[in-house]
Amino acid sequence: MKKVIWITGGGTGIGKAVAIEFANQGWNVAISGRRENILKEVEDNYPNIKAYPLDVNDKEKCFDVTKAIKKDFGDLDICFFSTGTWDPKKEREIDVEQIEKVFKVNFFGTLNCIKSVEDHFRNKRDGIITIVSSIAGYKGLPNSTGYGPSKAALNNLAESLYFDFGRYGVRVCLVSPGFIKTPMTDKNNFKMPFLKTPEYSANQIYDGLINKKSFEIHFPKQLTLILKFLKIIPDRLYFYLVGKLTKLQKK
C-alpha cells in the first residue's frame, strides 16, 4: 500500500514542488489550497495527486478534508503544512488588521490543520507532522511586523509539539527555508541572497523527512548557518550587524 502525504499550499511554490517530488517517488499525494483551478492543474498532470480545496481558516473544513483523505487513500503518513501569506508593502508599518490577517493564515491556519489530524496521529502512533516556517522566524528583522512574528510563533509551536506528539511516537519537523523563488518572494523588492528554486527545496525536504531524523530542515546552509550564528550573539552586536546589512537608518 502506497504511503500518503497531505500538503497544504500545494498548488504553487514549495508546496507544489514537494507534491511533485513525493508523487515522483511513488507516494499518494493530497494537495490543498484555496484556488481550485491551480490545484486541478497539478492533479491533472499526476495520477497519484488528488486535490482537496481548502481555506485553512475554516476549522470544520480542515476536519472534513482530513476525513476525505483517509477515506480515499486509507491512511495518512505525513502532513506538510505550508500555507502562508506575506505583503511586504504593508510590513513597513504597524498595520494591525494586516498583522491579524497574517497570523490568521500563517499561524492559526496551520494550527487548524494540525488540530484536524491530532487524533489520527496519536492513535496511529507513527508518522510525521511538518510545519513550514521561515528564516524570518529566527530573529527580528526590519520591515517585518507581521510575517516574521508569525513564523517565530510557528517555531515555538513546533518545539512544543515535538514533545507532545513525541510521546506517541510521532515526529514533528520544522522546515525553515531561505529565499526560494515563489509567487510570494516575487513580491520582494530587495536582493535575496542564495535564492534557490522550489525544486531545490523539494529535494532538501524529501531528504530531510525520509532519510534524516533531524528536527529542523533548513536550507540553503550558506544562509541559514549565518543566521543561526546571529541568533546566539549578544543583542547589541546583532542589532548593529543587521542594521549595517540592511542599511537601517534612524528617522
The yes-or-no answer on residue 147 being catalytic is yes
Rounded CA separation 154/120 (Å)? 21
Instruction: Please tell me the distance from the alpha carbon of residue 26 to that of residue 186, in angstroms, as a whole number.
Output: 31
Cell numbers that stand for 140 in this block: 527580528
Who's near 15: CB < 8 A, 6+ residues apart? 7, 8, 9, 31, 33, 80, 82, 83
- For the chain, the farthest-separated pair of C-alpha atoms sits apart, in whole angstroms, at 62
Buried residues in 136-149 as b, exposed as e (16+ CB within 10 A): bbbbebeebbbbbb
| DSSP-assigned letters across all residues of 135-192 | GGGSS--TT-SSHHHHHHHHHHHHHHHHHHHHTTT-EEEEEEE--B-STTGGG--S--
Q: Name the catalytic one among 52, 147, 162, 206.
A: 147
Question: What are 219's three cell numbers?
Answer: 536550507
**CA atoms of 223 and 221, how far apart (whole Å):** 5
Report helix, strand or coil for 38.
Answer: helix
Active site residues: 147
